[in-house]
Amino acid sequence: VRIAVDAMGGDHAPAEIIEGAVAAAVGDGIPVMLVGAEKTITDELKRYRYPGDKVTIVHAPEVISMDDHPASAVRRKRDSSLVAATRLVKEGAAAAIISAGNTGAQMAAALLILGRLPGVERPGIATVIPSPMGPKVLIDSGANVDSKAGHLVRFAYMGSLYASRVLHAGNRAPRPSTAPIHWMGIRVTGGRGGPRVALLSVGSEPTKGSEAVIEAHQILAQAGDLNFVGNIEGRDFLSADVDVIVCDGFVGNVALKLVEGVVFTLTGMIGREIRRNPLRMLGGMLVKPAFGSLYRQFDYATYGGAPLLGVNGLSVICHGSSRAPAIRNAIRFAERAAQENIIECLSKG
Amino acid sequence: VRIAVDAMGGDHAPAEIIEGAVAAAVGDGIPVMLVGAEKTITDELKRYRYPGDKVTIVHAPEVISMDDHPASAVRRKRDSSLVAATRLVKEGAAAAIISAGNTGAQMAAALLILGRLPGVERPGIATVIPSPMGPKVLIDSGANVDSKAGHLVRFAYMGSLYASRVLHAGNRAPRPSTAPIHWMGIRVTGGRGGPRVALLSVGSEPTKGSEAVIEAHQILAQAGDLNFVGNIEGRDFLSADVDVIVCDGFVGNVALKLVEGVVFTLTGMIGREIRRNPLRMLGGMLVKPAFGSLYRQFDYATYGGAPLLGVNGLSVICHGSSRAPAIRNAIRFAERAAQENIIECLSKG
């Protein structure tokens, strides 16, 4: 399978994007299609040695910037790297598109070009978050606001499927007792032994939460084909032993960025406190490796990108600040998702 | 002014509650009324020396537990410490009630006994959150779900008033250029020089957010009598230079508990990493004081309780796990709010 890479999107495009793509091609043997201004890409590629059949260039001279209005940019800039890369997926030339550019535009391109899967009203972004208990899937981490109960229920199913097929496949041993179960006619690993799915709410009781969350809880609690474990609260966000956290995109976006901000603020405050006197600084040097392994555990780059689940094709959203290792990981993730036939699994019914 | 203290509510009631109340009476000279089972309170009080006129007991034998259904418990248990303490405020015998017990029941008691202020459809909980930039007010941190734009706008005004009257009074020098402005006929410190009020959303642009947030943004942007600075995102939650963060109670509750959980999880992970080898442990001992001062900056106990703003009387909600220092601080906070006539300010119009 080939992965289409939007070479022009992201804070560090094109250099870091192309470096990451070449690393995936050389190090992981994944064929990549670099989509963007041909001259720019060719110039960048001069810095690397790579097998010619693994790295191809698709010329698309236009660029969608971070300030562009998503939907109208997608309609207007038909020769942009993002639109061209998404079209490669639609046409079957690529198995997935990854981009670190304008997220709104990427979602708009996915909706307009790839279209929704049958029965999916609102696709959701499935982001893998690192935690002491291992990686979890957060869905929706920002595609929608004002989600209704039905949307949350759909996120739960899509998140469960993604966790069982893509996440557990490589990162974590499957849980015991994964009796095969069926969802909408297809066999998925779910039910009692499948990924543990939780709703993010303001209390553990089924009666706590917004109207949509309370209604979604009722539906999920009766769903025999999903391993629904109930509500979790904000304080359990990182520590809960669950595989999938389901919430509205407004809440998910705030939560995800909050974790990022708190980690950043806290480590900054610790650093300032440590630099206040020489003894602490000595201690700081000794404990530095501990922070290093903590950072690695919390590094979003490990999990690369977040797919928009519910559209008819793989569109993987990367953090705007992604550097080469994050791009490489996103490409590996996209390849794994493609090989697991995640879209086919999601669409059968 | 006297402060009514629910002696029976909280994880560490009655011992820590009574210890905190006595500390406020002795150390801060604030008269307290301990409300609960007389015998229990008398026994606890034997451990302390205190001026008899500063500590009085109001007998209320019933207890509302954490498992009680809020509204029905308030209606049924009329001789509970919580209901009796709230009634003392209604009757004018106390200037405020503080409790670390069942939060839902405390809100129900406030709504049923004290009633709403004119024009307030939904009261909101105003929680002070510590941050590197100084304390901020988060409103609503959990009283409501599914808030409409009008509710968010009301939270913004109540939060601004609370920040200017209570928070800045003691914790922070007032900002320059606090030209007095008027809101609903009363003079408040607001406008350009007043507390900086922000909406929590998923992007800084006015067009980003849920329907309610977008509409509230439009209204607040045109409000000349409020220092509205626009949207902030989750990653700015701690670091933004604002005084008031406005959001729906579902989002506020998740955010607040998330910060708590992330701080707890991170420090636990750092500790485990440090204990992995002896050199790191030595370093850990040297940097420990740095963590100590960090903890103090982040200690929720510093800011004591969170008032339910919008009801006709001061009802201050304390964290269920509050110990004596948190209770003492909540009593000091309640006294300051009472002396600043915060309810009168909120109700005039």
Give per-residue pLDDT as tens, B310-342. 999 999 999 998 999 999 999 999 999 999 888
Q: From the CA of B249, how many Å to the nearest CA of chain A? A: 9
pLDDT of residue B299: 66
pLDDT of residue A279: 85
pLDDT of residue A335: 94
A49-102 residue pLDDT tens = 999 999 999 999 999 998 899 999 999 999 999 999 999 999 999 999 999 999
Residue A192: pLDDT over 80: no
Which segments of chain B are extended strands (E)? Answer: 3-6, 32-36, 55-59, 96-99, 124-129, 136-139, 180-183, 186-189, 197-200, 228-232, 244-246, 306-309, 314-317
Q: Is the dihedral of CA A98, A101, A107, A112 positive or negative?
A: negative
Residue with tokens 């909280």: B10
pLDDT of residue A184: 38
Q: Following CA atoms A87, A90, A92, A93 in sequence, which dihedral angle do they give, to the nearest 10 degrees?
A: 10
pLDDT of residue B301: 63
- The vertex-A121 CA angle with A116 and A123, nearest 5°, equals 60
Q: Report chain A's mean pLDDT, rounded to a whole number.
A: 88
Flag if A290 and B280 touch (Cβ within 8 Å): yes
Residue with tokens 């109207």: A211
Amino acid at A343: I
pLDDT of residue B169: 37
Residue with tokens 């893509």: A166
- Lowest average pLDDT, out of A168-182, A253-267, B240-254, goes to A168-182
Q: From the CA of A222, how many Å to the nearest CA of chain B? A: 24
Tell me the chain A residues in contact with residue B253 when contact means C-beta distances shorter than 8 Å. Answer: 202, 233-234
Task: Decide if A106 touches B, using CB distance below 8 A.
Answer: no
ipTM, two decimals, is 0.87
The encoded tokens of residue A222 equal: 């009766």
Q: Is the dihedral of CA B207, B209, B214, B217 positive or negative?
A: negative
Task: Decide if A295 touches B, using CB distance below 8 A.
Answer: no
Task: Decide if B66 touches A, using CB distance below 8 A.
Answer: no
Residue with tokens 């069982």: A164
Q: Following CA atoms A271, A272, A274, A278 in sequence, which dihedral angle do they give, to the nearest 10 degrees?
A: 130
Which segments of chain A are extended strands (E)? Answer: 3-6, 32-36, 55-59, 96-99, 124-129, 136-139, 180-183, 186-189, 197-200, 228-232, 244-246, 306-309, 314-317
Residue A170: pLDDT over 60: no
Task: Decide if B133 touches A, using CB distance below 8 A.
Answer: no
Chain A window 313-342: which residues touch B at a Cβ cutoff of 8 Å?
A: none
Who among B258, B268, B276 is closest to A234 (CB)?
Answer: B258
Residue of A113, A116, A3, A1 lying closest to A346 (CA atoms): A116
When scoring A233, A254, A274, A275 by the number of chain B Cβ atoms within 10 A, the one with the most, hence best to mutate, is A254
B244-269 residue pLDDT tens = 999 999 999 999 999 988 888 888 88
Q: Residue A56 in contact with residue A34, Cβ under 8 Å?
A: yes
Tell me the chain A residues in contact with residue B72 when contact means C-beta distances shorter than 8 Å. Answer: none
A99-133 residue pLDDT tens = 999 999 999 999 999 999 998 999 999 999 888 77
When scoring B266, B279, B282, B300 by the number of chain A Cβ atoms within 10 A, the one with the most, hence best to mutate, is B266
What band does B345 get if pLDDT is binned at 50, 70 and 90? confident
Give the full edge-to-edge strand order of the sheet including A197-200: A55-59, A32-36, A3-6, A96-99, A314-317, A306-309, A124-129, A136-139, A244-246, A197-200, A228-232
pLDDT of residue B220: 96
Q: How many Cβ atoms sit within 10 Å of the Cβ of residue B69?
A: 15
Question: What gap in Å lies between CA A132 and CA B240, rounded to an integer?
Answer: 28
B146-191 residue pLDDT tens = 999 999 999 999 999 999 888 763 333 444 434 444 433 334 444 4
Tell me the chain B residues in contact with residue A240 when contact means C-beta distances shorter than 8 Å. Answer: none
A153-162 residue pLDDT tens = 999 999 999 9
pTM for this prediction: 0.89
Question: What gap in Å lies between CA B319 and CA A299, rounded to an integer?
Answer: 32
Question: What gap in Å lies between CA B248 and CA A251, rounded to an integer?
Answer: 10
Task: Decide if A235 touches B, using CB distance below 8 A.
Answer: yes
Q: Residue B238 in contact with residue A262, Cβ under 8 Å?
A: yes
